Chains A and B, each alone.
Chain A
Amino acid sequence: MISISLTVNKQVYQVEVEEDLRLIDFIRDKLMLTGTKEGCGEGECGACTIIMDGKTVNSCLVMAFQAHGSRITTIEGVAKDGALHPIQQAFLDVGAVQCGFCTPGMVLSAKALLDENEVPNRHQIREGISGNLCRCTGYNKIVDAIELASSYIKEGQQDETSSSGRQ
């Protein structure tokens, strides 16, 4: 057993973990955050994508103890105060969700991308989700959704400045 501390979705955990426990198992089996999916277990599909210290990682390829001291966001930590994140809303609005098994990973890859580059072009979007496989949609709708999300985020900021201006 190794003791680690880490932050997952803004909550701090102090835990003992087995040396051979993968981060994905820690998240799914210990924290019961089952929104993180396992599609391959070997770094191919991106269904297990999480954001760790600002970067996307495949949680099936990281050992739990390696996450010591890190800040992690999983799909459960994306919505704010019960309201969908603009990326989640855009996925819904565009119809970028089919079976949904890739969706959590896609949303997190999109988030990591938009956090760094607010207005990516379609090529950059494709690159941003190049580590995530989707077997259902054919990707176009997902790229559309991320484009739409980018405009939602910009509008949201304008709304915020204009409403704060009014006050």
Chain B
Amino acid sequence: MKPLQVVGNRVLRVDGKAKVQGAALYPQDINMEGMLYGATLRSDKPHAFITIDLEEAEKIPGVVKILTAKDVTGHNHHGVLFKDHDVLCAEKVRRIGDPMAFVIGTSERIAKEALKKIKVHYQEIPAVFDPLEAMEERAPKIHGESNIIYHYKCRKGNVDEAFKACDIIVERAYQTSMVDHAFLQPEAGIAYMDEDGSVVVLAATQYPHFDQLEVAEALGLPTEKVRIINPAVGGAFGGREDITMQIHLALAAYLTGKPVKVVYGREESFYAHSKRHPIMMKYKTGATKEGKLLAMEVMLVGDTGAYASWAINVMRKAGVHAPGPYEIPNVKVDSYAVYTNNPFCGAMRGFGATQTPIGSEQQMDILARELGIDPIQFRLMNCFRVGSETANGQILHESIPLVQCIEAVKDRMFQELR
């Protein structure tokens, strides 16, 4: 067999040389002849019906066009799982930062100036920021009939019976916070019309093929008339999976026939993209006095904010990972995703699996302490090995080097403490 060329060898990354020289082009580095600039008007109220008056803004010299919901030529919606975002809010804003209008001007300065002259009349409606309150029947509804958009259930054995057999039960609640990816390159993009009448959007994205579908649907064009070009991407970590500016830019280029560029500053970047779901967790974990885990009951409530994004996948994964890497014969997990008027949450590194160890591992520490067992020993007594069965019934047939990992960490940890 020929020796492998890449696997096991050090390879220089293809884009590395351009990046160390500052020659790699990110969207903000790309300019086109005769381009116009865009700026986005965003809501500063979390829940309100809106009417927008453009009259004064449109009079500013250099303002070419101001797009609102009625200018969307196809469907005024997008979203990775549910089409619950408006491209530009038509009637209602559901969070602070919702895009309502997109100004196209001859310079960035003019476009931003015009934002200040747009008059928005907000008719505020009650908002909800606490996901537990949002689950209640009488809570204000963000979309449709219910704020609960997903309920994952996992049932294994019988927790009620098993808790009776436990010598010790620990019950605690945990809460993680909302986190931003803060990728170093704020969103930027440029769109233009190709000679063959296609609209081309050049933006840093994690999902160009899906962006193409979303842009095509919102513009009412066949997909072959939409091209997405992904230049250098300055970090993403899940935060570039949802559409931010792509459709605004595409519409602007399509309706003006000119190249249009937009660059978000850091603050606008925070408003524009998803966050990591904050999760409220209730854990009840029981063990025998010898230290064998017998039962675990978990409730998770993930606040997805005003839009679903990947909430369902994230809260499913959180539910699947909630018991941690431990053999527990009786498990009950309920994991919910809930709309609120908070910033919207979606993909971020770990996709739900990052949050639950905050709960499950602290449960392990507390149980070990109360039982008087060394916390590392306690984990070794209960952790997955080859042949273990997870809470959802998966038999782990191979490659579960968790014991080796814990032991390696233990050795290093104590070396470093010495």
Contact = CB atoms under 8 A, between A and B. Distances in A.
Interface stretch (A34-42, A63-71, A153-161): A34-42
Contact of A100 (B19, B182, B186): B19
A135 interface: yes
Interface in B340-398: none
B16 A34 contact: no
Contacts of A75: 21-22
Nearest to A104: B22
Contact of B183 (A38, A78, A89, A99): A99
Nearest to B186: A39
B185 interface: yes
A75 B181 CA distance: 26
Contact of B182 (A76, A92, A135): A135
A75 B29 CA distance: 14
A31 B186 CA distance: 22
Contacts of B81: none
9 contacts: A35-B23, A84-B21, A92-B17, A92-B20, A97-B20, A99-B184, A99-B232, A99-B233, A100-B232
Given A34-B29, A42-B266, A45-B184, A135 B237 contact: yes
B154 interface: no
B25 interface: yes
A124 B25 CA distance: 31
B234 interface: yes
Contacts of A59: none
A99 B22 contact: no
Given A39-B266, A40-B266, A92-B16, A99 B21 contact: no
Nearest to A46: B184
Interface string A5-44: 0000000000000000000000010000111111111100
Interface residues of B, number: 31
Given A37-B185, A133-B184, A100 B24 contact: yes
Interface string A97-128: 11111111001000000000000000000000
Choose among B10, B184, B265, B266 the residue with the greatest number of A CB atoms under 10 Å from its CB: B184
Contacts of A101: 26, 183-185, 234-235
A133 B235 CA distance: 12
B13 A41 contact: no
A150 interface: no
A78 B22 CA distance: 10
B12 A100 contact: no
A34 B184 contact: no
A146 interface: no
Contacts of B23: 35, 76
Contact of A84 (B17, B24, B26): B17
Contacts of A34: 22, 25, 28-29
A35 B186 CA distance: 15
A38 B266 CA distance: 9
Choose among B10, B26, B234 the residue with the greatest number of A CB atoms under 10 Å from its CB: B234
